[in-house]
Structure 1
């Protein structure tokens, strides 16, 4: 099977979805700021790093980037 030669629609749509996810994350974090701001600075740092990694990379982004490249939501795994 040959790869498509023309532009793919998944990339611009995927970028818009990524921007929307980042905006949703920002709104959620800002809404939590009054409570998180009372924590120790080290705890705040750990929370923001963990929330950023989990929300933006572990949950949606890895699959989103894969979908943008391949057109498939889940990567096909080789069966041995």
Structure 2
């Protein structure tokens, strides 16, 4: 357990918000051009996958915020 506060958590939250915002902008800008003509039932799995993909690196990032280690 930490006894002293670190700057990793506020910096990590700001970084996380910036990266997620950038990811959302990229998805919102480019994906509709690629799949906009598809039927809605074909678009739904694509957006579902893209909505889950950002979670993949989140665990290691949160570990780093808490401990300072990536593993």
Is the structural similarity TM-score above 0.5?
Answer: yes
Tell me the equivalent position of 2:66: 69
Q: TM-score if structure 1 supplies the norm length?
A: 0.74
| Aligned partner (choices 19, 22, 25) of residue 23 of structure 2 | 25
Tell me the equivalent position of 1:4: 2
Structure 1 unaligned segments of length 5 or more: list them: 75-80
Q: Per-residue deviation at 1:28?
A: 0.9
Structure number with the higher helix fraction is 2
Structure 2 unaligned segments of length 5 or more: list them: none
Q: Per-residue deviation at 1:5?
A: 1.4
> Which runs of structure 1 show a deviation greater than 6 angstroms over 4 or more consecutive aligned residues?
none
